[in-house]
Structure 1
Amino acid sequence: MPSNNKDICAYFYESLGQAMYRCKQCGSERKQLAGTGYSNLIAHLAHRHDGFKDQFAATLSSTNSRLQAFGFVSEETSHRFQWMQWVVERNMPLSEVDHERTREMSKWKVVSSRVLLSSMHHVAKKSGQNLEEIFGVCFGVMYDGWSHGCMHYVAVYGVFVENGEVCVQLLAVSPLEEGSQDADAHIKLFDGVLNVYNKKLDMVASIVGDNCATNQSVATKLGVPLVGCASHRFNLAVNRFLADSEPLLTQVNTLMSKLSQANNFVQLAKATNLHPIKRNITRWSSSFEMLQRYERIRPQIKTVEAVEELIPTGASHRKLIELLQHMKKFDSVTKKLQCDGIDLADVRLLFDSVIADYPCMREQLKPTAKIVHSPQFEPAAVKAINGGAMSSAEKAAVKRFEEPKRGTKREERAEDYASQILRAGPSKRPKTGGRSDGTIY
């Protein structure tokens, strides 16, 4: 029976995600980007495993071989899964699968709502058993809340390591008991959620969440470190930096508000298709977007006579353009903090570099900032990642963690401010135009 590289790789390799594959024969890990064929994987087999094609052919021709070994599933199972996926992801009622019109439009094999519900229970049970096994006895809990009307919901995630990669799995989205959103209510919720997976609170090694007082209280009562949101800390620091420029930002926001008025908007639309953008004072990113739009449409704004006196000129305009350049750097840091693969060592490197360029942001970004719940944990984690020597207190802070060997990071292609910092490492940083006192003019 003829075979191709795709089938061979499906048999000999296990996918680890992120374009990485593990050889089932020797355990070696190889990288193969999607859409680039299978040359790298096949080359490993040819170099390390002589006769792999004969082995594959023998397995393929064996009467005892199972299609599941090659990653295949039956059509019935595939269709059943697609029905479940459709109902869950589209938030459809189960009864929809019984509807005659739905069945006419679908090419999937017909399934009743009763059978589908039974399959969902089976999948949920199996998934829970799988999570119970891979969680082990040491894992993290990440959570965040959302309020709607009088109800406050909390999404709870499990954070664990599988095959050398950090995994985040949604465990529950549940409302808190009415009348309380304090630390005890959160801990009670976590206890109930973990009990579903036969896990206990004393197995939790850390929690991940916002830097608010409630989360700090949760961490204190559980006796674990709080890995606070780095983006939240950075936003506070940026707001501190922008405080001195508030009059200029207010001036531009007033201009944008005037341009949004009906008559002025019509006049502006004759010169450009771009609309004015007003800022949301609670988010500095909206101020960044507002300044970007201001710079983009400033020539067209001059065609609107009613706002001519509101347009920043001379020194004010130059200060705004200079401020925009700083905000572009801050935006690159914000985006980098939200990327997959960023660890605490990367965060500390970014924060230290920003502090060096903008000293006024130090109080929010330094390791011992007041907002940090576990000041010993962050330096210890950074040293563990970088292979540095730790003090006794730092060793105690990370005693429960076993840090896997750190692999070589992929080279960043982007040339923005944050990427340059991470690529250069602690010893070198890109030159910037920040003033030593943190001001922009």
Structure 2
Amino acid sequence: MFTKKSREEYLFSICSKSRKSAHTANHRNALCVLVVDDETGNIFRWCEWVVMDRLTQRFVERKTTKKNSSLSSISQKTLKTYLMGVYEAAKARVAEELPASFDIVLDGSTFNDRHFIAIFAVFNDPKMWHGDVADDSSKYYSDTDCYTRRFLLLVFCPLNVVEDLGAQSLFYLIADTLSRINKPWETVHFMVVGNCNVNQYIGNNEGALPMVGCASHRFNLAVSDYMTDYDSPLTKIHALMTKLRTIKGRAILRRVTELSPVLHNDTRW
């Protein structure tokens, strides 16, 4: 695969490109730095397949999977071991990247009737600055830019007790997330969340995190107030969308458009 050109340089036979390792002087063979062994590559591809396509761990042991995959077989137990290894490595990297103090942003999403919570760490990182400021124009608002703002995903998961979506469960999730990355409660300056009662309860408790309400939510409240003059047509549209969401209604709708009916939601903006 490689042809040696010099002590520190090798020629890749497939694309004829030269490869040089900065660590060559410390190794007898530079290929050990440049080439990933087959077993490692095989494990990585299994992990990537399962994670990116959101498959169950049992997927790797199915007969049809083994029959149609060009990858070497792997057991569910082995896959889980390496996935947990990736998790621990990622957790250590996140803890290393976080500064001494930061802010957090919380958001929720429902998928297949399961509600998930995402917690992001937000902080200033000068290393995030790349390139120049965008061109000046009448449609460009420079005050919205922060070229050194960085987001790190800390957790994306359902609550431990799925049936309990109350403030205490969310409070425990924040505390557990901080403990996993070895960060005390005091490292968080404030949290940015929606203006619902649950989040306000967390922000108002003694010793709790200061709360910054979601600006988009406040904008939605202003729009909702403005739309009160159009209650009659909006009510009719909502009734139509309700009928079109039925099996028969969707079949009729597909004759004229590929769009799907969407019901009015007080928190959708």
* TM-score bracket for the superposition, by shorter chain length: 0.5 to 0.7
Q: Say if 2:239 is the partner of 1:273.
A: no
Structure 2 counterpart of 1:211, one-letter code? N
Instruction: Tell me the residue number matched to 2:67.
Output: 104
Instruction: Tell me the residue number matched to 2:167.
Output: 183
Instruction: Tell me the residue number matched to 2:157.
Output: 173
Choose which of 99, 102, 121 in structure 2 pairs with 1:158.
121
Instruction: Tell me the residue number matched to 1:124.
Output: 87
Larger Rg computed on CA atoms = 1
Instruction: Tell me the residue number matched to 1:234.
Output: 219
Structure 2 counterpart of 1:187, one-letter code? F
CA contact (8 A) 2:60 2:76 kept: yes
5 Å-filtered alignment, 1:30-429, equals 59=22, 64=27, 66=30, 73-145=36-108, 154-161=117-124, 163-164=127-128, 165-177=149-161, 181-221=165-205, 222-250=207-235, 273-274=256-257, 280-282=263-265
Structure 2 counterpart of 1:231, one-letter code? S
1:98 and 1:77 map into 2 onto residues whose CA distance is 19
1:132 and 1:93 map into 2 onto residues whose CA distance is 28
Residues 142 and 73 of structure 1, relative CA distance in 2, 3 Å threshold = farther
Residues 61 and 117 of structure 1, relative CA distance in 2, 3 Å threshold = closer
Cα shift at 1:166: 0.9
Q: Which runs of 5+ in 1 are unaligned?
A: 9-52, 286-333, 335-441
Residues 67 and 276 of structure 1, relative CA distance in 2, 3 Å threshold = closer
1:224 and 1:140 map into 2 onto residues whose CA distance is 10
Higher helix proportion: 1
1:121 and 1:145 map into 2 onto residues whose CA distance is 24
Equivalent residue of 1:205, what SS? Answer: strand
Cα shift at 1:61: 7.4
Cα shift at 1:80: 0.8
1:171 and 1:280 map into 2 onto residues whose CA distance is 30
1:108 and 1:277 map into 2 onto residues whose CA distance is 39
CA contact (8 A) 1:140 1:159 kept: yes
Cα shift at 1:83: 0.7
2:165 and 2:257 map into 1 onto residues whose CA distance is 43
CA contact (8 A) 2:118 2:157 kept: yes
1:272-291 CA-partner distances (Å, limit 9, x unpaired): 83489866333597xxxxxx
Cα shift at 1:170: 3.9
**TM-score w.r.t. length of structure 1:** 0.42
Cα shift at 1:67: 5.7
Higher strand proportion: 2
Structure 2 counterpart of 1:191, one-letter code? A
Residues 82 and 160 of structure 1, relative CA distance in 2, 3 Å threshold = farther
Structure 2 counterpart of 1:138, one-letter code? S
2:26 and 2:232 map into 1 onto residues whose CA distance is 79
Instruction: Tell me the residue number matched to 1:25.
Output: none
CA contact (8 A) 1:253 1:278 kept: no
Residues 134 and 275 of structure 1, relative CA distance in 2, 3 Å threshold = closer
Instruction: Tell me the residue number matched to 1:382.
Output: none
Structure 2 counterpart of 1:220, one-letter code? N
Residues 250 and 77 of structure 1, relative CA distance in 2, 3 Å threshold = same
Cα shift at 1:172: 4.5
* CA RMSD, 1 decimal: 4.5
Cα shift at 1:150: 11
2:111 and 2:65 map into 1 onto residues whose CA distance is 32
**TM-score w.r.t. length of structure 2:** 0.64
Cα shift at 1:208: 2.1
Equivalent residue of 1:175, what SS? Answer: coil
Cα shift at 1:151: 8.2
1:229-273 CA-partner distances (Å, limit 9, x unpaired): 22222221111111112234446667888999989x97x99xx83
